[in-house]
Amino acid sequence: MRSALAVLAVVLCAQGRRYSPEEYARLGLILRAASRAPAADAYIFGKKEDRAAGAGKGAASAARAALNAAAVSAAGDVQAAAVASPADVAAMVERWAAPVEASLLKTARSRLAALLADTYTDECRAAVTGAFTDLYGRLLSEDHLPFEQSRLETDCPDERKGGSRTRGEREALKTKRAAPKDPSRIKLAYLVLVHENPDQIARLVEALDEGDRRHAFFVHVDAKKASDATYAALTAYAAKKANVFVMAEGRTSVSWGGFNVVKATMNGLAFVIDSGFEFDWIVTLSGYTYPLATNAKIREELAGHPGDAEFIEVRPQANDPQPRAWHHFVECDDRMRRIWRLAPPKRFRMFMGSQWMLITRAFAEYASHRGPYLNGVHPGSGRETFASGYEAYAKHVMVSDENYFTTLIKNSPMCGNHVNRNFLHVQFDQWENEKGGSVAKCLQPNPKHCGRSPTTLTAEYLPVLELGQALFARKFDVNHDGGRALDAVDAKRAARDAPSYVEKPQQYFRGVRISRREGGRNYCVTATTGSRDAPVVLEACDAANKYQKFNVGPCSSDGEIELRPGAPASVVPGAFAPAPFCPVASAAAERLTCLDLKGEQITAGTALITYQCSGRWNQLIGLGTGVRGAPDAGTLFINIPFANHPIRYLCAEADALTNGDALGTGLAGAGEKRKLRVEECHSGPTQTFSVSRV
């Protein structure tokens, strides 16, 4: 309570001026409002220059209104006072301290109880209470937040000179880039972060190992007790493989959204570098990741870029959080614990993206404080690196794995070598609050603002992966489907490795009309205007209406489609997929737009719209077959990618004509333009369509 009493003394002393009873009442209420700040996350006091002018001037408008409203009733309990001497101040503090202390103590205990509720070590409790005491002490004494006065600056040459290079400068630098590698000589160091499923990890290694020791595999196993069996199994496996190494030291216990996953990666990078293995790139993978492309294709793809390229997927817009939405966290005892505010940085920009990357030795040394950047300082100058300074800040950031390496590459000496891709396909699941998931992923003050994790990919999702042409995908789980999805991937990779392999051409259909016959007339699926976000409707077919024509494809290769005039498509299912899946693009749009589920919603009744083509699951349409649990022939369906979702497919549907429309009297009625939506699949006529060339 020392900070609160100090503030109370400053408030009451306030240049020795005379106070009325009403003013004394307000002063007491200000401290009571301050005591509620931890629970309300409201910063009561203003700038330092405000304090000398009187305690109320820096108060938030809401607090000020509350104080004024309460002043009249409180004034009767306060005695008028003369100019406050030091002795008077001491007496007044003693009088007012008790209610302030009681209120602060009650609030602090309640907040601290929530923070410590599921802790199980004294180390965690000490870290939480230490951060809690520091931050709220700063609040009451009007001190700066941690890192608020940080002078950390970027190491990116473009940013340090005050702006990006000109186009001419960028072109000149291209000649200084490292030459592309010979694909036959590329050597990769795979850094794999795991916590379970040792047999699946071994399968991953065997899939990527080319048998000539050109690649090496470095494995970090989570330090939790639950992962001990996985650690033992992988250690035994590595003993039989000359190019597989399991970390014995530097293991960390990883929590969702915490910095420890970054620390595990940094320790792994150091482990790779210290091993002495010579490599061209380090590839970071999850234990749930698996290659889609052949090993030869992976090397060929990398050889198409300069040898010093750093492959990290980064969102194009900088992350500029609002102060009220940026929080200080402590990670301990297997979860993140939100304390209060964290000051956003001022001298550099943060970026969000993926933690999975393919990086050179230069960036790995910079990120892990190895090589010329030993101990986190620049060679020669001894100046602290951005990587070292930012590490201290990022430890308190939520979901730092999606923030740390992305921010690092954009602020590193290697920023000019950044390539904005990581060759990895990830499909995220629903938000945790939507599916009633883990509260450990709901870390914001608003319990509806939660995180999410990658969904488990099944064999039905493979068409999306094929059309996306990524080199790797995450996440696969043999415990979910018995390895069926990985069996399909392995079969495809093995076929492509065969000397006699010929790639099957992807089907593509131009000038397609999707229609339904009702009341003696044909009604066509129509992309109203062809613009982004435009609704898709069913209306009377018109040969002159260009928005009733679509291009279907390229389609996934597992299965076969045959279009027939005026009839539902004839579809042969594939070995793994119930049907080929295809994007359906408007043939008339100025920009390439595809049929799309509005907002990626997976609930019945969601509207079909046109949206910029992306190749994502919500834009890939299957044509029904009625076999192996797939929707019936004549349907247009979308496969729901979330493995645990109760609905597997959603089918396009438009309401049936009304009686008036069927009699031809509703030419301008609602039946003439019926919006398409998706519903749970059934065999009714409202979900049956013909697909044929115009």
Could you give the CA distance from residue 65 to residue 445 in angstroms, rounded to a whole number?
24
Q: Which residue has the higher pLDDT, 542 or 90?
A: 542
Rounded to whole angstroms, the Cα distance separating 536 from 347 reads: 47
pLDDT at 532: 67
CB 329 within 8 A of CB 403: no
What are the pLDDT digits (tens) for 464-505?
A: 999 988 999 999 999 988 999 999 999 999 999 998 988 888
**With 80 as the cut, is the pLDDT of residue 625 above it?**
yes
Domain ranges of the chain: 2-140, 180-448, 509-693
Architecture of domain 180-448: Alpha-Beta Complex (3.90)
Q: Which of 84-88, 101-105, 490-494, 532-536 has the lowest mean pLDDT?
A: 84-88
| Cα 500 to Cα 291, 466, 495, 503, 651, distances in angstroms | 21, 20, 9, 10, 39
Work out the average pLDDT over 543-571. Answer: 92
What pLDDT, in 10s, does the model give residues 598-616?
887 888 899 999 999 988 8
Whole-number Å distance between alpha carbons of 636 and 471: 29
CB 103 within 8 A of CB 40: no
Percent of the chain with pLDDT over 90: 52
Residue 93 pLDDT > 90:
no
What percentage of the chain carries pLDDT values higher than 70? Answer: 81
pLDDT band at 54 (very low <50, low <70, confident <90, very high): very low
In the predicted structure, residue 523 carries a pLDDT above the cut 80: yes
86-116 and 21-35 helices, crossing angle to 10°: 20
Q: What is the pLDDT of residue 3?
A: 53
Residue 101 is given by DSSP the state H
Mean pLDDT for the chain overall: 83
Distance CA 175, CA 57 (A): 60
SS (H, E, C) 591-658: CCEEEEEHHHCCCCCCEEEEEECCCCHHHEEEECCCCCCCCCCCCEEEECCCCCCCCCEEEEECCCCC
Q: Which of 557, 585, 552 lies closest to 572 in space, CA to CA?
A: 557
Over residues 277-318, the pLDDT tens digits come to 999 999 999 999 999 999 999 999 999 999 999 999 999 888
| Confidence class for position 4, pLDDT limits 50, 70, 90 | low
The reply to whether CATH 3.20.20.60 applies to domain 509-693 is no
Q: Quick one: pLDDT at residue 168?
A: 56
677 bridge partner residues: 607, 653
Which residue did the predictor score with more confidence, 413 or 104? Answer: 413
* Alpha carbons 422 and 436: distance in angstroms, whole number: 31
In Å, how far are 190, 370, 474, 494 from 296, measured between CA atoms? 15, 31, 20, 12
Residue 432: pLDDT band with limits 50, 70, 90: low
Most confident of 14-18, 150-154, 422-426: 422-426
- pLDDT of 318: 87
CA pair distance 87, 76, nearest whole angstrom: 24
Give residues with Cβ within 8 angstroms of 545, minimum separation 6: 524, 526
324 pLDDT tier (thresholds 50, 70, 90): confident
- pLDDT value at residue 431: 66
Looking at residue 530, its pLDDT comes to 57
Give the pLDDT band of residue 435 (cuts 50, 70, 90).
Answer: low
- Is residue 169 pLDDT above 60, yes or no? no
Phi, psi dihedrals of residue 199, rounded to the nearest 5°:
-65, -35
> 3-class SS at 501?
coil
**Tell me, what's the pLDDT at 439?**
67
**194: its two tokens:** 């795991």
Name the one residue in this structure whose structure tokens are 């499909």: 427
**Lowest-confidence pick of 161-165, 238-242, 352-356, 608-612:** 161-165
Q: Is 592 a residue whose pLDDT tops 60?
A: yes
C-alpha torsion sign, points 200, 422, 601, 692: negative
The pLDDT of residue 100 is 83
